[in-house]
Structures are given as structure tokens and as C-alpha cells.
Amino acid sequence: QEVTEFEEYPFTLVKSNDKWGLINREGETVLPFRYNKVDQGWSYSTAISVVQQDDKYGIVSRENGKEIV
């Protein structure tokens, strides 16, 4: 399992079984562990993350983990 730092964010990236997702400080899953890659260069002010699932890319809300595109 691979985990990034929370820093000032309310959640952090976690890689489990070769898939990425987001958890909050309580350890609850915010973004399901189904993505091959999650862009770690995002800014908190935009509240979105770029994700890759197989050969497709999309955007998800970092506030609630819902897919936007």
C-alpha cells in the first residue's frame, strides 16, 4: 500500500492493489480504488483531480469523489 501525505488537504491519495483512490482523515473512501493513476499535481482550490482508468482519462470531484467527465 502506498500513501501520500495529507498536508493541508482533508484527504490523501492511497494506492491499494495497484489501484488509486482517495481517503479522508477518518479513513473513509472518498474516491473508489479503481484508477490506474490519479494526478498528484492538483491544486486544492480547483477541487478536481484528473484520473486514468485503463486507457481512458476523466475528471472527478475531490470534494465527493463523483465523476464529472
Confidence (pTM): 0.71
Q: In what order do the strands lie in the sheet with 37-38?
A: 37-38, 48-53, 56-61
CA dist 26 and 40 (Å) reads: 20
DSSP string, the chain: -EE---TTSSEEEEEETTEEEEEETTS-EEEEEEESEE-TT--GGG-EEEEEETTEEEEEETTT--B--
Per-residue confidence (pLDDT) for residue 22, from 0 to 100: 84
Residue-level pLDDT at 42: 56
Q: What percent of the chain has pLDDT over 70?
A: 74
11-44 confidence digits (pLDDT tens): 777 889 999 988 888 989 988 899 998 876 655 5
